[in-house]
Amino acid sequence: MSGKKENPEQAQQYANSGNFNARIHLHKTYSTNPYPWPLWVFDQFPKMDDLRVLELGGGNGLLWMANAGRIPGHWDVTITDKSSGMLQDAERNLAHLGANVQWSVMDAEEIHFPEDSFDIVIANHMLYHLGNLERALSEIGRVLKKDGTFYASTIGSRNMAEMKELIKVFNPDSQYDSILGTIESKFSLENGKQQLENVFADVQLHVYEDSLSITSPDAIVEYVLSMNGLEGNEQVMSLQEAQAFKVFLDRKMKESNGKIHISKASGMFSCTNARMVHSSRNPS
């Protein structure tokens, strides 16, 4: 492991799956797409037997919980996360999957596996949190087999646009928009392909159509509070502000027939390992 210092606020953000679950609850409960995101993500993967699969930043194991009955019997799955607390939650959630699932506390910028180890590598809504994305992509290319596929999901610049507007109207000084902007600038639907093409080949974008129709102000408040410490030490909203925000949301919902509509922009890139292409080039 490296000696890199971890931001204490961000470490607290991912100490366990509590904040993560607040965000998942909002999307799972109020999504307008009847086909859940984790099932759609899993649909993108090949279903051949005898594949070695690595998930980076696997969180509480949601992807595998949702698809437990669909995992081919001879897959060898390794789930990693930088947070030991997250992985403990995942291990409890997935104990029923048995010996074909392994766990490892790991930074995506330092993957502790040899070259050509995995047929599939997955980074589900996590690349934009990394400090050194270029290094992580290089590491992913290293451990991915020459005929392997890397899957990286992310959001677009218009994701949750109405949520940004709500918070801006409530508090023009809120850091929410800048935090989301930081995430989007790092790795998004708009700029992800260009970054991936520096390492991988045949980069394809698959878009997941969805939006939110939210009927509970509490769900929005919990979601917003879960963003505290997501990037750096920025606080989006204090607990005291949250009480006033709930009153604000109640009023907004009454003005819009009891619902608040939130747009979403999510998708997944798939790409193949390009190391053979790179190595075949003659130096100029």
pLDDT in tens, 206-250: 999 999 999 999 999 999 998 887 766 778 899 999 999 999 999
User: Would 48 be classed as within a structural domain?
Assistant: yes
Are 122 and 93 in contact, with CB atoms under 8 Å apart?
A: no
Query: 47 and 79 in contact (C-beta within 8 Å)?
Result: no
> Which range of residues forms the domain containing residue 205?
8-156+177-210+265-276
Residue 15 belongs to a domain:
yes
Q: Is residue 230 part of a domain?
A: no
Q: How many separate domains does the chain show?
A: 1
Per the domain annotation, does 190 fall within a domain? yes
Phi and psi for 103 in degrees, rounded to 5? -130, 145
Return the HEC string of 101-168.
EEEEECCCCCCCCCCCCEEEEEEECCHHHCCCHHHHHHHHHHHEEEEEEEEEEEECCCCCHHHHHHHH
d(CA 162, CA 52): 40
In a domain, residue 194? The reply is yes
Report yes or no on 258 lying in a domain: no
> What pTM was estimated for this model as a whole?
0.88
Please check the confidence at residue 16 and state whether its pLDDT lies above 60: no
Query: Hey, what are 181's tokens?
Result: 């902007």
Q: What is the CATH number of the domain that holds 132?
A: 3.40.50.150
